[in-house]
Amino acid sequence: MQLIAGNWKMHGRLASVAAIDALVAAGPVPGARLLVCPPATLVARFAEAARGSHVEIGGQDCHAEPEGAFTGDISAPMLADAGATHVILGHSERRAGHGETDAMVRAKAAAAHAAGLIPIICVGETLAERDAGATLEVVGRQLAGSLPAGGPLVVAYEPVWAIGTGRTPTPQQVAEVHAFLAARVPAGTPVLYGGSVKPDNAAWLLALPHVGGALVGGASLTPRDFLAIASAVPAARDAA
Ligand code: 13P
């Protein structure tokens, strides 16, 4: 099974539950697990719409504490209570825009585990870091600093320069980083690729060694595109 996860970022209103209804109505995709991570305002509504189906719902961030005087924050137990099964942590947009450090991501991941959530820990280099030949050093440092002790988890490799740009690394570049990460995560941990995953590039990305699925931004907002990406999982293509 590969995990096809949608990161809706700061998009979606209550009426967007129609997207979950569409994914549920389409039925399971062979070889693919579907996860949608909407903004916090929609987690409970989406989880209700997905209940009992093959579609799972996740959050996009959580605080390291279960509750307290943290205005504007959402805790892992709150996400679990709303019906989430996963939470994205350490996305580059939070590392860059909210000053999140590896230590903070690790503390959040431990909080996710304590709440019964599976953390999806994101790592990835900037273009300047890639151009400087520092990609493996950067993602290795992020991974080592962000991984919690024990517990189920998912890792996502998202080159910052490939997010929302329509640019993707070459197959060799993706394969190199995924092999590097796969050797440094607990056995059985899926390593997702993220960054401009679209229906027209999903097949080759998902067929690369050590790619265990995709973390999809923009294309996850449209059920047709999200399902087309899931249908590009090698097992789904074999079943078609
Ligand atoms: P895009 O698919 O829009 O490039 O976003 C990728 C991403 O950041 C997913 O977390």
Residue with CA nearest ligand 1 atom 5: 217
**Would you state the pLDDT for residue 239?**
72
Name the residue of 196, 200, 201, 225 whose CB sits within 8 Å of the most ligand 1 atoms, as the mutation to test its pocket. Answer: 196
Query: Half-sphere exposure (CA, 13 Å, Cβ side) for 96?
Result: 10
Residues of the chain short of pLDDT 70, as ranges, are 240
Task: Domain 124-213: give its CATH architecture.
Answer: Alpha-Beta Barrel (3.20)
Q: For 191-227, write each residue's pLDDT tens digit.
A: 999 999 999 999 999 999 999 999 999 999 999 999 9
What is the gyration radius of the CA atoms in the chain, in angstroms?
17
Cβ(58)–Cβ(5) below 8 Å: yes
The model's pTM: 0.97
The C-alpha atoms of residue 189 and residue 192 are separated, in whole angstroms, by 10
Among residues 5, 11, 143, the alpha carbon closest in space to that of 86 is found at 5
Q: Is the distance from CB of 89 to CB of 61 less than 8 angstroms?
A: yes
Number of H helices, E strands in the chain: 11, 8
Its sign, for the CA torsion 193, 74, 220, 56, is positive
Residues with CB under 6 A from ligand 1: 7, 91, 158, 163-164, 194-197, 215-219
Mutate to test the pocket of ligand 1, among 9, 10, 201 (most ligand atoms within 8 A of CB): 9
In 3D space, the residue among 55, 120, 111 whose CA is nearest the CA of residue 92 turns out to be 120
At residue 6, the pLDDT reads 98
Report the nearest atom of ligand 1 relative to the CA of 166.
4
Q: Which residue puts its alpha carbon closest to atom 9 of ligand 1?
A: 217
Q: 7 C-alpha vs ligand 1 centroid, how far in Å? A: 7
- Supply 150's token pair: 């024990």
Residue intervals of the chain classified under CATH 3.20.20.70 are 124-213
**Among 200, 215, 220, 221, residue to substitute to test ligand 1 (most atoms within 8 Å of Cβ):** 215
Which pLDDT value is given to residue 235? 83
* Residues, the chain: 240
How far is the centre of ligand 1, averaged over its atoms, from the C-alpha of 60 (Å)? 12
Residues marked as catalytic = 91, 158
- Tell me what pLDDT residue 240 has: 67
Alpha helices in the chain (DSSP H): 17-26, 43-50, 76-81, 92-97, 102-114, 127-131, 135-146, 171-182, 202-206, 223-230, 234-239
